[in-house]
Structure 1
Amino acid sequence: MGGLGRPGVTAVKWSAVSTAARFVLQLLAQVVLARTLGPEIFGVFAIGMVVLTFATFVSGFGFSWSLLQRTTLRDQDIRFAWTWQLLVGAITMLALYLLAPLLAQYFREPRAESVIEWLSLACLLTAAAAPATYLLQRDLNFRAVGLVQVGSYAAGYVAVGMPMALLGWGTGALVAAWLVQAAVQLVASYALKPHAVRPLFWYPDAASAVGTGRTVFFTNIINWVLNNMDRVLIGRLLNAQALGLYNVAYNLATMPNTLLLGALQPAFLAAGARLQNEQQRLGQAYFQMLATILVLAVPAFVFLAVISADLVRLLYGPQWSGAAWVLAILFLSMPAYVIWGLSTPVLWNTGRKHYEFVLQLPLVAAGALGFYFFAGQGILSAASVAALLLVLRAGVVGAAAFRAVQLNWTGLLPHLARGLLLSTLAVAGALAGQELAGRSGQPLLSLMASTFIALVLLASVVALRPQVLGEQAAAMVLRFVPRLTHFLRRASPPMPVKTMGEQQL
């Protein structure tokens, strides 16, 4: 990540620390809540969340996003963004509340009506918090952003949601957890980054902010459709329990990915905004990130796919066993999800902010047809369509990003080959561990054996032949864990570890 410089690396490090903390909290809360509430209640809440995420995109519109993209920022920019975020958030909240009965009727689930009504409050809370959040990201103050994310999640889900679930509140526990999290995030973000709140409905540069917001809005709508078509049709064609199984599997599969993107994407976008006129450095950082994903993330997700059944049995119990194969399929598509997420900042920072929206439009039609014909056949078929759609999105958006920074995608093929080689070792270790623990019937023992054998195999190969990581992934690892420098070079002295800036692309 040499292309982003020290501030960008520091931002990513802080994002990674907060991401790890949030991952632990999120996993703990989700396991307790899933075991306590069961698939059906999670399915009812999932209907509310599908609707809320769409409403949140509408209420956000992208006014605050323009604060992150501007090279210079004035008080008027902030006031304008704040005013319209609050206004649109309030209108969206009211509209969602009034539409709750019709939405519950569409999903054939009366219990979803009150969930949607209560969650409508989150539209206003999330919209109001957006300006301060983006201002913190603009400052590359990811230490503060991380503390807010971890603290708000702990307050919502650990302090409120889990106790309410254990006391028998059902979907009310999940709704309360989400609202408390949103409220705490609003208060904490503004406390850390106070900004002007005096209303401003128009000013000379308003057209530019509205233009950026419009692009963000339509891009978010397309992304929402692509990310939620599966759940919309499962909820309509199947039932709440099927949706609950699918949604928990999807959340678990995307949890490490969402957290990884949560650490990398905002820092890459904010730091990349400072490199808008330095295309070569931006391309170098982007290439190195993708190479690292192929070499390190692909084997990790392949390993997780192989151990999915044991993960579901251990974390959620037998009532969630129907989610195991869904989880495995989705894990295999997660590297594509990361590639897509890291490609979008490149388009935005090279003057191609509308590309993400335009390029994904054909995929909306393809995905709609796929889910329409296959979602009714069960959650396994829906997961297969969702995984294929993620791969197509990564290919389309990634190809555009490569063209934007004048890179050749064939340069990634050696890194993909390294990732597949390490994936083979990870699979061998996982299967060997499962075979050894097969007769015990204990998922924890199977997971421990699989993880131990896979790690020993991978560590042995890297120790003997560090070249297997490739220069890009090795440089990224050493950038964030300098203590490994001596180990890597001692294991293979001839191995060069260079940044992208030292190579000719």
Structure 2
Amino acid sequence: MSITARVIHSLKWMTFTKFLAQLLRWAVTFIVIRILMPEDYGIFAMADVVMYFFALLSGAGLASALIQVRDFSKLQMRQVLGMLVTINFFFTLTVFLLAPHIADFYQEERVIPVLYALTIGFLTVTIETLPTAMLEREMRFKALSLVELAAATISALVTLTLALAGFGLWSLVIGSVSELLLRAGLKCAVHPVMILPHFGFRNSIHLFTFGGIKTLTFLAWFALVSVDTVIGGRLWDAQTLGIYAVALQLSYIPLNKLVPLVKQVAFPAYSRINQADDDISPYVMKANSLILITSFPLFFGFAATAPSLVPLLLGEKWLEVVLPASLIPLVLPLRASQELLDPAFEASGRPQDALINWLIVFAILAPMLYVGALYGE
């Protein structure tokens, strides 16, 4: 099967399973939003932004290095696993030590136990990184998509059940943790990697260098997409932050579902093309055109219908969501286009270009977001 055929096959499977999973999640989310209070989402957002920061550092760059490199040895895989164990053990301890200080920063003590519970994610990253890298390298996206569907379905039902049972904030926390555990366990079952970690890293410096730059790129991207929540958590109360978080969540639904799907398939495909010394430029242009053609009507359509959709879907207590949900989607097609540059840079062995791109955008937008949060509430 050619690269183009494998990409199309992968996208079909991932689109189908993502669509099914998203239908269920939307149904569950709109029910849960009617049950929970805005402050529940605000507190979860405070913890989630912190844990997402650490998750970006916890090993995804190493997975990308294994996908991009032409070949590697079993010893190098063991060294990567050793690095994953070391990093994630350190991050678990760090979160436990920093949790009280994070609560002081947000002026919200209820965030502490949520942070403790979400550290389970460090265990799951350690377990699933190598199986994920091998499945993506082999372009077995049908198996990956079915794993994601199963984990999303079960975790959504867990969240709904707990919300109906009156667990409040903890229905979001336990639902999130259940998805992490299910996804890691299923990936290991589909592609078990039976090796022990090795803690000598000399033979894998090139992998760690690539992974390190990729991790810095994640950080720059994360800083950009999270700085608004961090600033809002500091300057706003939980009620206001919850309103903004829900508006952001609704606005980003197409971006969060469409772009990662294309990026996940594009990176190993671009890597294979680059390893064969072929030009990836035509493929990059086609992928970018696809995203723009799809995203403009999606985002502009949502912005136009937000005043009617928000009260219909969320209820009258969420009317304050209408204004931000009408404005945020207008710029997101350009964000989608920008994000598709990353897999092209990385597959061609130039991850530093993606890093520079995100740093420039962050340096421009962060001060503007701070001023807006300070004076625009």
Q: Which amino acid aligns with 1:360?
A: W
Is 1:296 the counterpart of 2:294 in the alignment?
yes
Are the counterparts in 2 of residues 121 and 179 from structure 1 also a CA contact under 8 Å? Answer: yes
Q: 1:286 & 1:118 partners in 2: Cα distance? A: 40
Distance 1:155 1:185, change over 3 A: same
- How much does 1:291 deviate? 2.2
Partner of 2:229: 231
Are the counterparts in 2 of residues 62 and 214 from structure 1 also a CA contact under 8 Å? Answer: yes
Is 1:312 the counterpart of 2:310 in the alignment?
yes
Q: 2:139 & 2:335 partners in 1: Cα distance? A: 24
- How much does 1:341 deviate? 2.0
Q: Which amino acid aligns with 1:354?
A: Q
Q: Which amino acid aligns with 2:151?
A: S
Partner of 2:258: 260
Q: Which amino acid aligns with 1:314?
A: L
Q: 2:76 & 2:326 partners in 1: Cα distance? A: 45
Aligned length: 377
Distance 1:73 1:311, change over 3 A: farther
Are the counterparts in 2 of residues 89 and 128 from structure 1 also a CA contact under 8 Å? Answer: no
Secondary structure of 1:110's counterpart equals coil
Superposition pairs for residues 469-488 of structure 1, below 5 Å? none
Q: 2:355 & 2:70 partners in 1: Cα distance? A: 23
Q: Structure 1, residues 140-186: CA drift from partner, whole Å, max 9, x if none?
A: 1111111111111222221x111111111111111111111111111
Distance 1:25 1:80, change over 3 A: farther
- How much does 1:278 deviate? 6.2
Q: 2:139 & 2:60 partners in 1: Cα distance? A: 23
Q: Structure 1, residues 37-81: CA drift from partner, whole Å, max 9, x if none?
A: 021111011101011101111222622221111222432232222
Distance 1:178 1:33, change over 3 A: same
Q: Structure 1, residues 440-459: CA drift from partner, whole Å, max 9, x if none?
A: xxxxxxxxxxxxxxxxxxxx
Q: 2:73 & 2:223 partners in 1: Cα distance? A: 34
Is 1:153 the counterpart of 2:155 in the alignment?
no
Partner of 2:83: 84
Are the counterparts in 2 of residues 83 and 197 from structure 1 also a CA contact under 8 Å? Answer: no
Distance 1:263 1:215, change over 3 A: same
Distance 1:4 1:324, change over 3 A: farther
Q: 2:73 & 2:140 partners in 1: Cα distance? A: 19
Secondary structure of 1:275's counterpart equals helix
Structure 2 unmatched ranges of 5 or more: none
Secondary structure of 1:64's counterpart equals helix
Superposition pairs for residues 272-287 of structure 1, below 5 Å? 272-276=270-274, 281-287=279-285
Q: 1:199 & 1:349 partners in 2: Cα distance? A: 26
Is 1:96 the counterpart of 2:95 in the alignment?
yes
Percent identical: 24
1:368 alignment partner, one of 366, 369, 374: 366
Q: 2:80 & 2:91 partners in 1: Cα distance? A: 16
- How much does 1:378 deviate? 4.1
- How much does 1:213 deviate? 1.5
Q: 2:138 & 2:219 partners in 1: Cα distance? A: 27
- How much does 1:346 deviate? 1.0
Is 1:353 the counterpart of 2:351 in the alignment?
yes
Q: 1:16 & 1:271 partners in 2: Cα distance? A: 17
Superposition pairs for residues 369-384 of structure 1, below 5 Å? 369-378=367-376
Partner of 1:59: 58
- How much does 1:247 deviate? 1.1
Is 1:28 the counterpart of 2:27 in the alignment?
yes
Q: Which amino acid aligns with 1:335?
A: P
Q: Which has the higher contact order (CA 8 A, sep 6+)?
A: 2
Are the counterparts in 2 of residues 94 and 120 from structure 1 also a CA contact under 8 Å? Answer: no
Q: 2:238 & 2:129 partners in 1: Cα distance? A: 32
Q: 1:176 & 1:284 partners in 2: Cα distance? A: 44
Q: Which amino acid aligns with 1:319?
A: K
Partner of 1:47: 46
Are the counterparts in 2 of residues 250 and 330 from structure 1 also a CA contact under 8 Å? Answer: yes
Is 1:170 the counterpart of 2:168 in the alignment?
yes
Q: Structure 1, residues 110-139: CA drift from partner, whole Å, max 9, x if none?
A: 111111121122222223212211211111
Q: Which amino acid aligns with 1:104?
A: A
Are the counterparts in 2 of residues 312 and 321 from structure 1 also a CA contact under 8 Å? Answer: yes
TM-score (norm 2): 0.95
Q: 1:203 & 1:292 partners in 2: Cα distance? A: 41
Q: Which amino acid aligns with 1:218?
A: L
- How much does 1:189 deviate? 0.5
Q: 2:131 & 2:312 partners in 1: Cα distance? A: 39
Superposition pairs for residues 84-483 of structure 1, below 5 Å? 84-158=83-157, 160-202=158-200, 205-276=203-274, 281-378=279-376
Structure of larger gyration radius: 1
Secondary structure of 1:168's counterpart equals coil
Cα RMSD (Å):
1.9
Are the counterparts in 2 of residues 78 and 196 from structure 1 also a CA contact under 8 Å? Answer: no
Are the counterparts in 2 of residues 96 and 116 from structure 1 also a CA contact under 8 Å? Answer: yes
Secondary structure of 1:62's counterpart equals helix
Are the counterparts in 1 of residues 63 and 129 from structure 2 also a CA contact under 8 Å? Answer: yes
- How much does 1:297 deviate? 2.4
Q: Structure 1, residues 405-448: CA drift from partner, whole Å, max 9, x if none?
A: xxxxxxxxxxxxxxxxxxxxxxxxxxxxxxxxxxxxxxxxxxxx
Q: 2:91 & 2:270 partners in 1: Cα distance? A: 32
Secondary structure of 2:350's counterpart equals coil
Are the counterparts in 1 of residues 292 and 336 from structure 2 also a CA contact under 8 Å? Answer: no
